[in-house]
Structure 1
């Protein structure tokens, strides 16, 4: 039997070769970058409502979305239509997630979570450093003319992306995350109305969601100054930068975990460091596959569980997770 250390070494060597052999790509076209700028701005410029489909790993899920802009900012309601019911209400960055089956409500701030079709930061960073961005062709999507924009990674540290952008409004109609030539995750509108009238009642909770027997849990976050955590990522992969350091309670328990968030301008990766009690069983270390483009890597260091999770290849997630060190 081949030892685990040999397998790890082989993976490391293979990963190194991939990075070295990354293709030399030209600079992105100004036209393609203008399309991405228009796409990033569109959710804050237009009202829209419709149904979109999520597909990954043979799993299909439909959601209904209503999005309105007014003087107070953005108002949004997303309701998952398949499986266990879930409803998210958002006013700007303040979110409430309703779980009707358990009668629970979780409130939190939208820090990095991206909801289709609003998946680019505004303003978006210099994606050209990490992706070759090009215009592909025009294509009709749910009776809207779209411009296809392809983002080809400049190395093996990140996935490729493809966007179908409405030529009139810039709203994203369809998106795909690619592993080489294979689609590993996809969102697409099945029905969409842009700039129609949206009644305020469509953005409010249903009457049964306001009953007193629902339990509310506030997921708190405390942003801290640079270098205030006991941890740092010693070797950031090329193209990734640290966004913020925080302390968060991610469960109903009043226990805060350290959270370091990273991004390459499109993909986001989070590192959670949680102190384990002495009587806590040691968690399993290694890779864990979530659905679609999300990968998870867990390791234990000095009585702390370090979980790295993000929409990046497994090698990138491991590289980040193994770079976490204690500094105090």
Structure 2
């Protein structure tokens, strides 16, 4: 999964607390990802489940490309470019569009997301450590409130590439962990190394640029004539995407809105109520992802996100229905 260029916004919108060394390290990470090739194996762990994955990444002025191959269980592959994502499922099972293949890959995009979210996190350097036999510097990214998770990152001191990350609760409990066990940095990455080596069902998603949605555009284009208003969001969370669709099986309308501070994100789903269908009411948790569902004015409303439970509950309970 590609690293992205560090945005200038990280300097124009400084976090509430960041030491100079931490900011310099972020800048060096932004440069490294544009220039470094690497080939390694990392472990993704969420709760009691773990996966070993090989990743091959080639940086180029024409765009980054990388391949991920699962080393445990079914030999799934994922090839990513700046424009598309292609997944291969050799086991022949039905492709699940909403499934996160290979644990979502290595979280290389943390850098670009962090550049947009720095006002809502404190960023400091920590201890020196060793990851995959390489000297690494710890980087602590802690939220300014209790409505989002924090991160601990380990950055290679020589190449300035990300070697490990941990997603943390406010108490410091680890929810999700990515760690390289071995990595080779530099050298040529051949085209054949990046070509899928498996045969199976294949699906490709094309990347599309998105822009923040204007409130008047949402109301004008929404399939719902009524206005649903989210009365509370954590500081820094803004609407970044919105879509409406019709469920073919039930002929029911579903609206989705995505709110984000740049690093963390929450989806809100609004669906017409169907008394024959079971629906989440109350809290649900899967790894680092929390969800909370309620019924309002004959509609199911659900919030889902990689944020603490209190965040999804407070957001969904603030949603109001009001005709204009």
Equivalent position of 2:176 in the other structure: 185
Instruction: Find the aligned partners of 2:70 and 2:205 in 1 and give their Cα distance.
Output: 21
Task: Please state how far the C-alpha of 1:31 moved relative to its aligned partner.
Answer: 1.9
Task: Please state how far the C-alpha of 1:283 moved relative to its aligned partner.
Answer: 0.8
Structure 2: gaps (5+ residues):
1-14
Q: What is the Cα-based RMSD across aligned positions, in Å?
A: 3.6
1:288 aligns with 2:276: no
Q: Pick from 45, 64, 78 the counterpart of residue 54 of structure 2.
A: 64
Instruction: Find the aligned partners of 1:221 and 1:306 in 2 and give their Cα distance.
Output: 27
Instruction: Find the aligned partners of 1:130 and 1:50 in 2 and give their Cα distance.
Output: 32
TM-score by length of 1: 0.76
| 3-state SS, counterpart of residue 232 of structure 2 | coil
Q: Tell me, yes or no, if the aligned pair for 1:106 and 1:217 is still in contact at 8 Å.
A: no
1:298 aligns with 2:298: no
Instruction: Find the aligned partners of 2:230 and 2:27 in 1 and give their Cα distance.
Output: 30
Instruction: Find the aligned partners of 1:93 and 1:219 in 2 and give their Cα distance.
Output: 6
| 1:169-318 matches, cutoff 5 A | 169-179=159-169, 180-206=171-197, 208-209=199-200, 214=201, 225-227=213-215, 228=218, 229=222, 230=224, 231-247=228-244, 257-275=254-272, 278=274, 280-291=276-287, 293-318=288-313
Instruction: Find the aligned partners of 1:166 and 1:122 in 2 and give their Cα distance.
Output: 18
- Tell me how many residue pairs correspond in the alignment: 295
Equivalent position of 2:67 in the other structure: 77
Q: Tell me, yes or no, if the aligned pair for 2:87 and 2:204 is still in contact at 8 Å.
A: no
Q: Pick from 127, 145, 150 the counterpart of residue 140 of structure 2.
A: 150
Worse-matched range after superposition: 249-258 or 231-240: 249-258
Structure 1: gaps (5+ residues):
1-24
Q: Tell me, yes or no, if the aligned pair for 1:149 and 1:164 is still in contact at 8 Å.
A: yes
Instruction: Find the aligned partners of 2:251 and 2:30 in 1 and give their Cα distance.
Output: 36
TM-score by length of 2: 0.77
Instruction: Find the aligned partners of 1:200 and 1:222 in 2 and give their Cα distance.
Output: 27
Write out per-residue CA displacement over residues 90-143 of structure 1, whole angstroms, 9 at most, x where no aligned residue.
1214112222223555779x9xx9642413253743544322211112212112
Instruction: Find the aligned partners of 1:195 and 1:247 in 2 and give their Cα distance.
Output: 45
Task: Please state how far the C-alpha of 1:302 moved relative to its aligned partner.
Answer: 3.9
